[in-house]
Chain A
Amino acid sequence: MSKRRPYVRSMDGWWRRNPYFVEYMIHEGTALFVAAYAGILLAGLVRLAEGEAAWNAWLAALKNPWYVGFHLFALAALAYHSFTWFKIMPRTMPPVIVEGQRLPAWVITGGGLAAAVVASLILLGVVWGMVR
């Protein structure tokens, strides 16, 4: 009779076993802030549809220190999301061949981060231009 009895180890708490996994869970966790922020915007949009008084109440609520505090954390979380999104992009996207050479990872990550900075400045400029 076979004495084989392959032992399957538990996966409980796997994300604590390696710093690489801890970082993974943190960057996945930024999604909670993305969701909450989208929820706040959605609430604002509904208030907008309800009329001027409702909108102004929502706008006033944003001055509440709790909201300001949340947005500070959300800013950090979304910035970290941007950073990690472009950091893994060389692994997630198909190779880009330029003049027979594969584009190195740092060029892709750097290009993505640069695009984020440019897009953000354009957004700020457009907002500025629209209301001035």
Chain B
Amino acid sequence: MNNSEINASKEPGSILEVGEYKGLLSWLSSVDHKQIGIMYFTTSLIFFLAGASLAMVMRTQLIKPNHHWLSPETYNQIFTMHGTTMIFLAIMPMLTAFMVYFTPLMIGARDVSFPRMNALSYWLYLMGGLLIYFSFFTGDTLHMGWSAYPPLTSVNYSMDLYFVGTGVDYWIVGLLLTGAGTIMTAINILVTVADLRVPDMKLARLPLFVWMSSINAILMLLALPALNAALVMLFLDRHLNALFFNPAAGGNPLLWEHSFWFFGHPEVYILILPGFGIVSEVIPVFSRKVIFGYSFMAVATVAIGFLSFGVWAHHMLATGMSFSIYYVFAFSTALIAVPTGIKVFNWIATMWGGSISFDTAMLFCVAFILQFTIGGLSGVAFATVPIDWDLTQSYFVVAHFHYTLLGGTLFTVMAGFYYWYPKITGRMLSEKLGKIQFWLMVIGFNGAFFILHFAGLAGMTRRVYTYPDLPHLATINLISSLFAYVLGLGILIFFANLVISLFKGKPAGDNPWGGWTLEWATSSPPPPHNFDRIPPVRSIRPLWDLERSQMAPGAAAPPSRGGESS
């Protein structure tokens, strides 16, 4: 667009030059969704770095059998922190960052509906995260796994070592804080999408990222209260002897498992839906084709959201519940593969017949499709109940969920960064570093995790600081650890790229990828008020329509009715 050249002279080319964003105070006191988004990005990236470093320590401990470098106490804390960090403090807020930053831009709004609440969400998240990490300094941190099953976490047995110490309290309160923040974000996104779309953006013209973020917000809104309730019960058990989970006094530890997974399963969709959204934006742009099956994509998202509340007990298939319960959950779990399959095939169909350019963002999407398919297929295997009996809680599960969370979500997040970093900062990420990072991550990830399926088959259980020298385990783990370092190197290069490109990156211009959604219609970085003018929205690709209208963009883009909606 010619706009960019006109704008280039008068608008800052980099986020570092935006006058309104100068000075610490402008950040601390900000209610601008873009600044808050950037703070979410930064914080979650730092937590991600922590989580990934812990993972490298774990893989080093597991590099050979009967390894006594770390004590079980240390290792148990590390895997608990790794899981908690990755789920609650890294990946989920990173996706929130995309939602908070891009939802208003993609619907042509000036900000979210409740900017102050948006800021509060962020600060609650940060404080909650710090509180959880503070438990490291209490000398008695978490060793329980991210799912924190009582009675291990609830009952004070006769000897201290039975019992998970004060760290759990920090964990509970920290999660309650971040959880409250998440619920607020969910409300914020929903109201924003309902209320602040430019008037001619009907629901059927909503970008898929916004569709998926909205469904995601509904999941957050409905799932997190279950976790919060469970956390409160656990807290009461620990401090007021409420006995919810103590079987000796008529409580039931399965109550925790039900409440936790009633949250936990929607949570894993919360951890993937915005990623699906990112992929659904990136693939069309880099294939120069409209998304295939838009309405099926949207409906499939709704279906996933709906079904995800009916599958939680598949995390409990080995708890010895009655078979009739298993049947229901096994079927609903397998069923969720159908809408997921719809998405995969629609992405491929979007690429089909396209003119695909393999920039780093697109590469990550392609790898994502393949890796996520593997994770999805092993998930379907788990829905076949007896196979779950065989393999649950083994390293097969560790492989499965890293294929969905790392090979899945993290790869979509990477695509999102390469795609939108130019919009956020005004600078391109280095494609050269990007391609190196991509290949290191693909090789490292698959090398480290595919083979872990076999560790599970060979009899290795999860959450152990070391394992006996059973046949094959030494080789499998050595290979896995070495590839994990390759993956780690890829991640480091990503961070280097983020920092270097901020200062040295090529100026991005308004629309470096030829994107079609509204965020590309404003400058990079967008001005604090987001849009000077908004092109009319006649389809899901307003900028595409604009391009086709053969007129000078300036003339073709009268502010759409109501322009800035707030």
Do A and B pair up? The answer is no
Q: Which residues of A contact B (CB under 8 A)?
A: none
